[in-house]
């Protein structure tokens, strides 16, 4: 998996093994690393991968 991360929690995830690309937008007034929700975004991706991987 590869990912890019922009200001405010703008996330781009690429999962080549599943042919999956996920883009998430977030709140630009509250940077994700400082407020701690970046890990929540990663967890959400984990849930998405679980659903796609099971399909």
From first to last of the 55 residues of the chain, give the pLDDT tens digit: 898 888 777 889 999 999 999 998 877 676 666 666 778 888 899 999 999 988 7
Q: Is 4 left (phi over 0), alpha (psi -120 to 50) or beta?
A: beta
Q: Tell me what pLDDT residue 9 has.
A: 73
Q: Tell me what pLDDT residue 16 has.
A: 94
For the chain, the structural domain boundaries read 2-54
Q: Tell me what pLDDT residue 37 has.
A: 74
Q: Tell me what pLDDT residue 2 has.
A: 92
DSSP codes joined into one string, 22-41: EEE---TTS-HHHHTTHHHH
Instruction: Give the separation between CA 1 and CA 45, rounded to whole angstroms.
Output: 11
Q: Tell me what pLDDT residue 30 has.
A: 66
């Amino acid at each position: 998996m590869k990912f890019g991360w922009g200001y405010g929690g703008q996330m781009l995830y690429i999962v080549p093994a599943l042919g999956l690309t996920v883009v998430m937008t977030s709140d630009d007034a509250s940077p994700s690393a400082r407020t701690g929700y970046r890990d929540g975004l990663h967890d959400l991706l984990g849930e998405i991968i679980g659903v796609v991987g099971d399909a």
